[in-house]
Structure 1
């Protein structure tokens, strides 16, 4: 802002700019009118002419001052800087609600209470990434061990919250926001109450309280929640309880949740407001160089095994498909075609050195459905550059469209589970694929690694490349802008 003296100076100069052309014409005409009376033979004539020309020169110099002063005082931004900002946030800005701590940070502070049996403090430490995976040191390049962590599969709420607080397109002015983020740790809030003899009211309490707070906000009432979004760090079915005797909470079925976009590690494909985002893996690069180095490592890795399976049987399920896969894999292990990592119990819950090494050594990794249609192992497998083999289309193809290639056959293999049940050999099907096709699929998997990992660089993310967080938030902003005003219907 200009002070009074600066304004006065500019105002004093302004008439010179305004009357520039008439003034010059007037002086030119005056000069022409006196010219006949001047004689070059008289010394006084030379003196008058010299003084007159000097005045004109000084006048022209003075008239250039207002322009240069004005530019200096206004600090005009560089066009390139302004354009870069527009490109970075072209989809819009995000406002983060200042939710009371009871809905997020207090849950973390009481991490010992998040599970009825064991403490979750270690799993959700370090901004949601968990402790460093120093045990992986001998498996990968030494300079990348710092990028690996024992990250819990249910930690996305914490990861997204920490990233969005430092997001380049975050605004503290709600009037300028395209979207409104609700930093509620819905998965952590309900996790404790999913087990033992807790009531339906216990499982719904935090979500009901959160919605009661949000509905009193000015910008909620403006759109009825259409431009609001939230991260829910569990599968969608954990929030879709139909009656009090069923599993989970009824959070998604509450009326005020109807229009809120929900980022979940598994979505309901028939619900427009559910968006599937990648499960957190253990790889959290800090720089673009970390990503490139890992991609080169995965691309040049020698793979001695055709396929592998990391998982456990579900003995309580009749004709358990996982048991069938384990049986085939064990049968082929003698020839070296398949490698098994038996994850009975909880020893593989957040990954292990055996799992990573197995994926790194295998061309293909079998990915049946987990306890639900999806499983974290899909992303652990792909980060290692192994090609996923699916048996249900809902395991990935209808889940993560924003993050995976649009052509399923370019990065994965689909084998109908009923064919396997009827005796089809998985090894036989995979051996039909040429080595050139295997190479192309692996290259595609490795190309998409940045899309499915969460960077450990909260301020700027991975400069020069988008990670899963960037893609998710850009997608939400794009949806909201495309459907702007839709809530009015």
Structure 2
């Protein structure tokens, strides 16, 4: 095809090539010597280019990309008037409670049914802060996304990531001890929305009676929804459509109207900057700037520190204990493991960035006999979720610069390995995870200013000056805090401990309780 030969950006070059190839090859075959034939060919080529430009400008997705959500009017028609009084719960029929069968992959299908509101007999349940009501959203906002998992990423199918309710497939490795089987999963960093939804539906403090609830959870998978449209030339209205639709639906609900959404919260599985588009041509959605969202508390893997309605929650890691005993066993292992390196770094340099900070860290690590690095260029660390954990298990400290944004999943890989994080930006953790990490930053981490590193400070020298007793104290704080930044396995709770979901629910309920909006 002529257009394939010359492309949109090479029209001028194409004309020159026609003249030069007139004497040989396909030019001779088409008898391009005639001026009339050349003019006709140029006209056809111009017409093809015009048609292509017009089609690309239409506000519809390309056929190989996921379809736009249905209009909100169609969604409303599918929701019964009694939807507010029914909550969605996970279909656990295919999940076994037998620990020896925890390897079985479970699909993420939902069924519509009431959740138990009687929490008085729940094991180890303490609902003094109040109860949580879970909205039954139209499926276009959550479960339909899972059914179309192959369209959630432009690069490859997202379906492997959503099995086992967003935990991913169980890791089966000879290196794992027998008692560790069923506690490690191939969990994707962007499935927190699904995991939270699953854990909320299992929570003893969830009620199906909204008039008894102090807090209201909105299970909108905002991250999965917008992720379909981030890397293609979709118009702004397509990237914003899901957010507008869910807010329009919420604003019609009785218990939303009562407090204008102040007692509502949702979990967003991507960083806040994917939802803060200020101009149509910029990256992402404008969801966080929509009027209806301003009163809702958003729990994200990276928050905007200057938005008091956002709070950071841990990135999902590979470790998902089934019981408190799993946690205690892992903590004992971390206290006794032999660490052969002083510090380590998992990441890839950004050679296209002048004076790249990661490159500086990698250079210092490579020059030291006491450091080990893991090259995470490409998809190596994404495909092997345990690679970083094994690296950090062997080191006393782990370097945690900013990632593509200020936070990175590696922070929590480091923490679950019992390694002490070294931060260079306050926004990487200290201003992010106030509910989940110790409030005293110096009790579990080391901070070295990025400016000092750029001015020649050697990380190894700083770390070597820390007394052994202080290192032991830092490590113990990291290890003892592990329950708060892990998500327990699907279908299981940590008796006597609070995991990341429990901690987040308590944090939000405390916020509501301390406000004048507490209504029961």
TM-score, structure 2 normalization:
0.75
Q: Which residue pairs with 1:485 in the alignment?
A: 517
Q: Which residue pairs with 1:473 in the alignment?
A: 505
User: 1:454 touches 1:468 (CA, 8 Å); kept in 2?
Assistant: yes
User: 2:276 touches 2:284 (CA, 8 Å); kept in 1?
Assistant: yes
Q: Which residue pairs with 1:106 in the alignment?
A: 144
Gaps of 5+ in 1: 1-80
Matched, 1:433 2:469: no
Q: Which residue pairs with 2:447 in the alignment?
A: 414
Matched, 1:251 2:287: yes
Which secondary structure state, in structure 2, belongs to the residue aligned with residue 465 of structure 1?
coil
User: 2:132 touches 2:217 (CA, 8 Å); kept in 1?
Assistant: yes
Which secondary structure state, in structure 2, belongs to the residue aligned with residue 265 of structure 1?
strand
CA distance in 1 between partners of 2:125 and 2:317 (Å): 29
CA distance in 2 between partners of 1:347 and 1:251 (Å): 32
User: Structure 1 420/106 Cα, relative in aligned 2: closer, same or farther at 3 Å?
Assistant: same
User: Structure 1 301/207 Cα, relative in aligned 2: closer, same or farther at 3 Å?
Assistant: same
Matched, 1:278 2:311: no
CA drift at 1:485: 2.8
User: 1:167 touches 1:458 (CA, 8 Å); kept in 2?
Assistant: no
Q: Calculate the aligned-residue CA RMSD, in Å.
A: 1.7
Which secondary structure state, in structure 1, belongs to the residue aligned with residue 398 of structure 2?
strand
Which secondary structure state, in structure 2, belongs to the residue aligned with residue 281 of structure 1?
coil
User: 1:455 touches 1:462 (CA, 8 Å); kept in 2?
Assistant: yes
CA distance in 2 between partners of 1:107 and 1:134 (Å): 28
CA distance in 1 between partners of 2:285 and 2:122 (Å): 44
User: 1:153 touches 1:281 (CA, 8 Å); kept in 2?
Assistant: yes
Matched, 1:323 2:359: yes
Q: Which residue pairs with 1:37 in the alignment?
A: none
Bigger mean CA offset, 418-427 vs 81-90: 81-90
CA drift at 1:124: 1.7
Matched, 1:181 2:217: yes
Matched, 1:120 2:158: yes
CA drift at 1:410: 1.1
CA distance in 1 between partners of 2:380 and 2:297 (Å): 34
Matched, 1:384 2:417: yes
CA distance in 1 between partners of 2:220 and 2:385 (Å): 30
User: 1:368 touches 1:390 (CA, 8 Å); kept in 2?
Assistant: yes
Over residues 279-331 of structure 1, what are the superposed CA-to-partner deviations in whole Å (9 max), with x where a residue is unaligned?
00000000000000000011100000000000001223221100100111111
User: 1:151 touches 1:350 (CA, 8 Å); kept in 2?
Assistant: no
CA distance in 2 between partners of 1:355 and 1:286 (Å): 22
Q: Which residue pairs with 2:495 in the alignment?
A: 463
Gaps of 5+ in 2: 1-118
CA drift at 1:202: 1.2
Which secondary structure state, in structure 2, belongs to the residue aligned with residue 131 of structure 1?
coil
Which secondary structure state, in structure 2, belongs to the residue aligned with residue 480 of structure 1?
helix
Over residues 11-66 of structure 1, what are the superposed CA-to-partner deviations in whole Å (9 max), with x where a residue is unaligned?
xxxxxxxxxxxxxxxxxxxxxxxxxxxxxxxxxxxxxxxxxxxxxxxxxxxxxxxx
CA distance in 1 between partners of 2:379 and 2:398 (Å): 20
Alignment of 1:12-411 (within 5 A): 88-135=126-173, 137-138=174-175, 140-332=176-368, 335=369, 337-349=370-382, 351-411=384-444
CA distance in 2 between partners of 1:352 and 1:90 (Å): 37
CA distance in 2 between partners of 1:142 and 1:84 (Å): 30
CA distance in 2 between partners of 1:92 and 1:486 (Å): 10
CA distance in 2 between partners of 1:312 and 1:290 (Å): 32
CA drift at 1:85: 9.1
Over residues 147-192 of structure 1, what are the superposed CA-to-partner deviations in whole Å (9 max), with x where a residue is unaligned?
0011000111000001111210111111111011111000000001
User: Structure 1 155/350 Cα, relative in aligned 2: closer, same or farther at 3 Å?
Assistant: farther
Which secondary structure state, in structure 2, belongs to the residue aligned with residue 188 of structure 1?
helix
Larger Rg: 1
* Runs of 4+ with deviation above 4 angstroms: 81-87
User: 1:153 touches 1:350 (CA, 8 Å); kept in 2?
Assistant: no
TM-score, structure 1 normalization:
0.80
User: 2:239 touches 2:284 (CA, 8 Å); kept in 1?
Assistant: yes
CA drift at 1:133: 1.6
User: 2:152 touches 2:224 (CA, 8 Å); kept in 1?
Assistant: yes
CA drift at 1:457: 4.1
Equivalent of residue 449 in structure 1, options 482, 489, 511: 482
User: 1:152 touches 1:350 (CA, 8 Å); kept in 2?
Assistant: no
CA distance in 1 between partners of 2:334 and 2:515 (Å): 40
User: 2:192 touches 2:269 (CA, 8 Å); kept in 1?
Assistant: yes
User: Counting helix residues as a fraction of each chain, which structure ranks higher?
Assistant: 1
User: 2:122 touches 2:204 (CA, 8 Å); kept in 1?
Assistant: no
CA distance in 1 between partners of 2:231 and 2:449 (Å): 34
